[in-house]
Structure 1
Amino acid sequence: MAGDLFGDDAPVESGAATGPVPLAERLRPRALSDVVGQEHLTGAEGAIGRMVAAGQLSSIILWGPPGTGKTTIARLLAEAVGMRFAALSAVFSGVADLKKAFAEAEKMATAGKRTLLFVDEIHRFNRAQQDGFLPYVERGTVVLVGATTENPSFALNAALLSRAQVLVLQRLDEAALATLVERAEAEVGRRLPVTDDARGALIVSADGDGRFLLNQVETLFAASIDTPLDPAELAQFLHRRMPVYDKDRDGHYNLISALHKAMRGSDPQASLYWLARMLVAGEEPLYVLRRIVRFASEDIGLADPQALIQCLAAKDAYQFLGSPEGELAIVQACLYCATAPKSNAAYAAQKAAWAAARETGSLAPPANILNAPTKLMKDLGYGAGYSYDHDAPEGFSGDNYWPDAMAPVDFYRPVDRGFEKRIGERLAWWDEQRRQRGE
């Protein structure tokens, strides 16, 4: 498959291309300075710029979304420092291909020519295959440049990561994408057949993917369009691009994290946006609901006890109505949580209490609060001196409920917000009553 300007396809083999050369291939940068959108890496002060200036490359992992220039950067890196460029795709390569690539690199090394081995989709190699790179990287047989769209922390072996520098490529912003459109127009020799508004819509629809944008541009140039298309006509002419979102990968976890943080930050507008991003991209609604229910306990708790009830009601409503009608109940739960008073006191109390339970082992409850159904147990002091709270003034006895060998601990500390403010006042009154009765 032919490589493209900002994608991650394998490079073109000599003589393999037939027919017209795709626009993206014709616009492939000839120097690192031509790569758009990654100046933080390729500029003079960037990691790649510094490597090229020094004439020395170390093994690197290029991590970024599709269509941001990983393949192109790797090829230009090899050219910039005079290294042999070899490429593999983890999707199509196996152990035999790796062995062949390493053997060729060793042969070239004896002739004084170092090899930059570019491995596309490197995260698709299993752990054993990734380990196979280590001796060749350590000996300097190859300088490894891996490309991945997945988080290297989870997708790559720690041993491999320790021998490579991770460089993060950014999704192309609108200015970078606009530059690509201008270069395409210069290459073709005419303006894109769209209005200015449609041009902006086209750039936004690319979602940061330069390869996708250039493919759309090429489609527009190839069509017979007499009158520039407006945004509505453009949407009818081009298929709609779905957001990049892998439900079991980084996109999934990044967006649910964004939703959680926005609700915690009491920003209902941003919360609704991230909720929409997930549901529009095809996330399972019940998964989102489970996370919102968890939020109601973790970040709101008793500051507004209705939050948990609202979320469970939303779950019931969605299961009763299904999509799309039931999604409004999810929206209601999201907005309720985002606008509710916040407290993580219950969450903090749980962690503290669990830690104390592990540390104190099997301390027995005080004898006065133990039931004594037999004479032997009564003789041992079970239940002796127990105060029945309902018979006490104000319904509060102030009795001791802690193990004899353990001092009372304040696990739960309500915040001064929402319903928890009233709880805090109640706890303070009880504490004062205990103090007075202990005097």
Structure 2
Amino acid sequence: MADRLRPKALSEVIGQQQVLGAEAPLGVMLASGAMSSLVFWGPPGVGKTTIARLLADETDLHFVQISAIFTGVPDLRRVFEAAKIRRQNGQGTLLFVDEIHRFNKAQQDGFLPHMEDGTILLVGATTENPSFELNAALLSRAQVLVLERLGLDDLERLAQRAERELGRALPLDGEAREALLEMSDGDGRAMLNLVEQIAAWKVDAKLGRADLTARLQKRAAQYDKSGDAHYNLISALHKSVRGSDPDAALYWFTRMLEGGEDPRFLARRITRMAVEDIGLADPQAQSVCLDGWQTYERLGSPEGELALAQAVIYLALAPKSNAGYAAYKDARRAAAKTGSLVPPKHILNAPTRLMKEQGYAEGYEYDHAAEDAFSGQDYFPEDMKRGVYYVPVERGFERELKKRLDFFVKKRAQRNL
């Protein structure tokens, strides 16, 4: 079905108007007749191979398709030699490399001279972030175009095209049809495969959602625990917690679990959220995360995941402050800048007579003996201006800490008058 419905022209491609539209990158290149090498970055089943093949037709280039998984250096040499011969005979070559990120650095470098002298127009396809997986030299010679997963409207148009090819409608009611589109998860090829399965069923009446889901196993969501999906989803979870949205936070948390993420990774990250984005605005938040983590270790999956989910909800609703995090980073920068400055002598211990003679501990004031248990002495190095790093916010428990800090600042100022 996917092969039978493969578009015959770029105008027939469903979706990807951000790339194919008249004012979009490919539309402008084709209109001007000036094509550059390209890298298509996007999830499976969104048209990377189809668009590359149609580009060859539009530009009268000979289309050659290889896969980085099955192609070695000798194969590449043969491809480049054949392209050189074509070029001598007046025809260019569009070389489509599927899974281009699978080539190592040396193999990727092998494309460069042939791209530069016009032997090939390279069109690579990758599901991985090109910034991490492709050489800078190759990226500088190619334009990266992002292809997006197909939306529900795009998938519906594709389903209708399949029904016209079949000559009949699918035996699905409205809810079942909606379930079919959801199961496809933005992958047009996957949806056409499902359509082909459904079309082969012999049924007397339209199937409902429950009937369909009973007959078809739900397609696993796209998730790579070491790839872009991993980093994108943990970023979404972290920012949802920071944005005090427990519903969004729970959604991304469970999306990661459904994708097979290790709950221990999530336990570690939500504990980090507690110390980075909540801090002393709610000192209890860190304990909630650690308790949830410990509960998971005792119960395991799936029961222990509920404890982590409750920690996520608690963090999302907790008062937020990054004052402690910011203070830590500022203090680290100051420590790196000031190097080896020694503490002032009055706060150094003097266990020997020589040290006492050198002024160690001289003038030290014992804070517990001072009024309000606060001496107001300077504890920074003598040659360093007093730093201010921790600036608490007017939220949660930090509101109380700010009152204490303001009191100490006032007392210190009175001492130094």
TM-score by length of 2: 0.99
Verify: 1:204 aligned to 2:182, yes or no. Answer: yes
CA distance in 2, matches of 1:154, 1:300: 31
| Counterpart-to-counterpart distance in 2, 1:414 and 1:122 | 49
CA distance in 2: counterparts of 1:231 and 1:109, whole angstroms: 55
- Alignment deviations for residues 271-293 of structure 1 (CA, whole Å, 9 cap, x no partner): 00000100111100000010000
Q: Structure 2 regions of 5+ residues with no counterpart?
A: none
1:213-292 alignment to 2 at 5 Å?
213-292=191-270
Q: Residues 46-69 of structure 1, C-alpha deviation per residue, up to 9 Å, x if partnerless? A: 111111112221000000010000
Matched, 1:130 2:108: yes
- Structure 2 residue aligned with 1:401, among 357, 379, 386? 379
Matched residues in 1 for 2:66 and 2:252: separation? 36
**Deviation sequence 1:373-416 (CA, Å, 0-9, x none):** 11111111100011111111111110110100001111111111
Contact 1:172 1:210 in 2 (8 A): yes
- What residue in structure 2 maps to residue 110 of structure 1? 88
**1:14-57 deviation line (CA, Å, top 9, x unaligned):** xxxxxxxxx11110000001111111111211111111112221
1:339 shift after superposition: 0.5
Deviation by residue 1:188-207 (Cα, 9 ceiling, x = unmatched):
10000111110011001111
User: What letter is aligned with 1:360?
Assistant: T
Query: CA-to-partner distance for each residue in 1:243-299, whole Å, 9 max, x for gaps?
Result: 000001001110000000000011111000000100111100000010000110000
Q: Deviations over 1:124-180 (max 9, x none)?
A: 001111111111111111010000000000010011000000000010000000001
Letter in 2 for 1:92: F
Runs of 4+ in 1 over 2 A off after TM superposition: none
Q: Which moved further from structure 2: 343-352 or 360-369? A: 343-352
Alignment of 1:193 with 2:171, yes or no, is yes
The size of the alignment, in residue pairs, is 417
2:408 maps to what in 1?
A: 430
Alpha-carbon offset, residue 229 of structure 1: 1.0
Q: Are 1:56 and 1:81, in contact at CA under 8 Å, matched by a contact in 2? A: no
Query: Of 387, 390, 393, which aligns to 1:415?
Result: 393
Deviation per CA, 1:193-241: give whole Å up to 9, x if none: 1111100110011110000000000001112122211001100111211
Is 1:315–1:330's contact at 8 Å kept on the other side of the alignment?
yes
Matched, 1:368 2:335: no
* Aligned match of 2:48: 70
Contact 1:318 1:329 in 2 (8 A): yes
Comparing 346-355 with 67-76, greater Cα deviation is found at 346-355
Q: Does 1:91 align with 2:64?
A: no
Q: Which residue of 2 aligns with 1:144?
A: 122
1:37 matches 2:15: yes
Letter matched to residue 364 of structure 2:
Y
Matched, 1:339 2:317: yes
Moved more, 45-54 or 193-202: 45-54
Compute the displacement of 1:425 (Å). Answer: 1.1
Match of 1:177 among 129, 151, 155: 155
1:52 correspondence with 2:37? no
Structure 2 counterpart SS, 1:26: coil
Tell me what 1:10 maps to: none
1:81 Cα deviation from its structure 2 partner: 1.1
Q: What is the letter of the counterpart of residue 435 of structure 1?
A: A
Tell me how far 1:123 sits from its aligned partner. 0.4
Q: Distance in 1 between matches of 2:324 and 2:112?
A: 47
SS at match of 2:294: helix
Residue matched to 2:273: 295
1:166 pairs with one of 144, 149, 173: 144
Letter in structure 2 aligned against 1:86: V
CA RMSD of aligned residues (A): 0.7
Contact between 1:33 and 1:43, CA under 8 Å: does it hold in 2?
A: no
Q: Give 1:18's aligned residue.
A: none
Distance 1:280 1:165 in 2: 34
The whole-number CA distance in structure 2 between the counterparts of 1:218 and 1:132 is: 41
- Distance in 2 separating the partners of 1:350 and 1:103: 59
For residue 8 of structure 1, what is the aligned residue in structure 2?
none
Q: For the residues of structure 1 that align with 2:370 and 2:330, how far apart are their CA atoms?
A: 31
SS in 1 for 2:3: helix
Q: Which runs of 5+ in 1 are unaligned?
A: 1-22
Letter in 2 for 1:84: H
TM-score (norm 1): 0.94
